[in-house]
C-alpha cells in the first residue's frame, strides 16, 4: 500500500542527515532488531562541561519513515543539553516531520527510545538496570515491555488498541497479548493522567486560561464517557463563569440527562472554578 508521506519525511528519507557513527562516541543507543523489521543505532558526542550534545549520528534499518525519523531526531538533539534533548518526545519528532501516517508512529517512538538509551549509556545507567524498570515483556512478537507500553500510552494519551499497535507494534503479531493490552489501556483511561490539577493548587485563572481548561476538561474527560454511550456534547459558549453546552446523539433527550449535566457541572466546579454555572441549550 502506498504511504502518504509528507514532503519532510521524503526529504529526510532521500537525503538523510547525519548518517553514520560518531567516532569515539560518548553515548550509544541501540534499539529494535532485524527480526522486528526496524532497528536504530544512535551515537552521540557530549561536551563534558556543558552537557551539550555536540554531535549525533544514526544508522537505521527500516522503512522510509524509520530512516526519516532517525534523521530528524539527530537534527533535533544536536546543540541541546542532555536534559533538553530528553524533553524531545516521539510526538515532537513526528510533528517536526510534518506528521507520520498513524501506522508509522512506532518509527517516532523508536527514535525517542534510542535517544533515551544513548543518554542512559552516557550517564552510566546500565541496560540491565533500565530493563528492570521496563518490567516483563507483554508483546512477545515484538518484545514490547510493560514499562514501555505504560510510558507510550500515557505520553501520547492513547485511547484505542489500534493506537497502541501503531505506536508500539504491540498486538500487531499473533495477537495473544490483546487482553493484557486492554487492561493497560483500561487502566490509563480510568486514571486519566491528563486530569488538570484542581483549582486549589493553581493561581487564579485568566479568562483565556479558564476557557482552555474548560475545553480540555470537556474534551478529555467528559466527551469520551458520553461517546461510550453513543452520545456527545457541543460547547456552545463560555461567558465568564457561565458555560453553555448542547447535548447531542443519545444524550439529547436521554432520561438520565439531568444526572449527566449535574455530573458535568460538578466536574467543572471541582477542576475549574466552584462558581461555574452550567446551562444546557435545548435543541429547537
Partner 1 sequence: MKRVYADNNATTQVAPEVLDAMMPYLTEKYGNPSSMHEFGGQVGKVIEDAREKVALALGAQNATEIVFLSCGTESDNTAIRSALATKKDRRKIVTTRVEHPAVLTLCRHLEREGYQVRYLPVDRQGNLNLDDLRDAMDDQVAVVSIMAANNETGVLYPVAEAARIAHQHGALFHTDAVQIMGKVPLNLQETDIDLLSISGHKIHAPKGIGALYIRRGSRFRPMILGGHQERGRRGGTENVPGIVALGKAAELSLQHIDDEQTRVRALRDRLETALLRIPNSIVNGDRDNRLPGTLNISFEFVEGEAMLLMLDQVGICASSGSACTSGTLEPSHVLRALGVPFSFAHGSLRFSFGRYNNDADVDHIIETLPPIIERLREISPFKPA
- Using CB under 8 A as the criterion, what x/- string covers residues 25-54 for binding partner 1? -----x---xx-xxxxx-------------
CB 232, min distance to partner 1, A: 31
Does the annotation count 63 as an active-site position?
no
State yes or no: residue 64 binds partner 1 (CB under 8 A).
yes
**For residue 28, what are the β-bridge partners?**
43
- Using CB under 8 A as the criterion, what x/- string covers residues 205-244 for binding partner 1? ----------------------------------------
Report strand pairing: 231-239 vs 242-249: antiparallel
CB within 8 Å of 260: residues ≥ 6 apart: 226, 247, 251, 254
- The count of chain residues that interact with partner 1, using the rule CB under 8 A, is 28
Active-site choice (36, 139, 177, 251): 36
d(CA 33, CA 41): 10
CB within 8 Å of 127: residues ≥ 6 apart: 117, 120, 121
State yes or no: residue 169 binds partner 1 (CB under 8 A).
yes
State yes or no: residue 108 binds partner 1 (CB under 8 A).
no
CB 23, min distance to partner 1, A: 16
Nearest to 97 by CA among 76, 127, 119, 123: 76
Nearer to partner 1, 108 or 260 (CB): 108
Report strand pairing: 242-249 vs 277-280: parallel
Among 67, 109, 138, 153, interactor with partner 1 by CB under 8 A:
67
State yes or no: residue 66 binds partner 1 (CB under 8 A).
yes
Among 76, 137, 141, 205, interactor with partner 1 by CB under 8 A:
141
Query: Grid coordinates standing for 223?
Result: 466527551
State yes or no: residue 143 binds partner 1 (CB under 8 A).
no
Helix (H, G, I), strand (E, B) or coil at 166: helix
CB within 8 Å of 233: residues ≥ 6 apart: 218, 222, 223, 226, 245, 246, 247, 248, 251, 264
Nearer to partner 1, 67 or 94 (CB): 67
Rounded (5°) CA angle 182-183-184: 95
Catalytic residue set: 36, 107
Q: Tell me which residues touch partner 1 (CB under 8 A).
A: 1, 3, 13-14, 16, 19, 30, 34-35, 37-41, 59-64, 66-67, 141-142, 165, 169, 172-173
Amino acid at each position: 500500500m502506498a504511504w502518504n508521506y509528507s514532503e519532510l519525511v521524503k526529504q529526510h528519507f532521500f537525503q538523510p542527515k547525519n548518517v553514520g557513527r560518531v567516532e569515539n562516541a560518548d553515548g550509544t543507543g541501540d534499539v529494535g532488531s532485524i527480526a522486528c523489521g526496524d532497528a536504530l543505532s544512535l551515537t552521540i558526542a557530549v561536551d563534558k562541561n556543558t552537557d551539550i550534545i555536540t554531535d549525533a549520528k544514526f544508522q537505521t534499518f527500516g522503512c522510509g519513515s524509520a530512516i526519516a525519523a532517525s534523521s530528524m531526531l539527530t537534527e533535533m538533539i544536536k546543540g541541546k543539553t542532555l536534559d533538553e534533548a530528553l524533553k524531545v518526545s516521539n510526538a515532537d519528532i513526528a510533528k517536526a516531520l510534518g506528521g507520520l501516517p498513524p501506522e508509522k508512529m512506532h518509527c517516532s517512538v523508536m527514535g525517542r527510545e534510542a535517544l533515551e538509551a544513548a543518554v542512559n549509556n552516557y550517564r552510566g545507567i546500565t541496560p540491565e538496570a533500565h530493563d528492570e524498570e521496563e518490567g516483563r515483556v507483554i508483546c512477545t512478537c515484538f518484545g514490547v515491555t510493560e514499562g514501555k507500553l505504560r510510558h507510550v500510552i500515557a505520553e501520547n494519551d492513547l485511547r484505542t488498541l489500534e493506537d497502541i499497535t501503531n505506536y508500539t507494534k504491540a498486538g500487531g503479531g499473533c495477537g495473544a497479548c490483546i487482553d493484557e493490552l486492554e487492561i493497560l489501556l483500561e487502566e490509563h483511561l480510568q486514571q486519566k493522567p491528563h486530569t488538570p490539577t484542581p483549582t486549589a493548587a493553581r493561581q487564579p485563572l485568566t479568562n483565556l486560561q479558564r476557557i482552555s481548561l474548560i475545553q480540555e476538561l470537556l474534551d478529555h474527560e467528559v466527551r469520551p464517557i458520553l461517546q461510550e454511550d453513543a452520545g456527545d456534547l457541543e460547547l456552545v459558549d463560555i461567558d465568564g463563569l457561565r458555560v453553555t453546552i448542547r447535548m447531542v446523539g443519545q444524550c439529547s433527550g436521554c432520561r438520565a440527562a439531568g444526572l449527566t449535566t449535574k455530573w458535568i457541572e460538578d466536574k467543572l466546579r471541582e477542576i475549574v472554578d466552584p462558581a461555574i454555572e452550567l446551562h444546557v441549550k435545548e435543541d429547537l
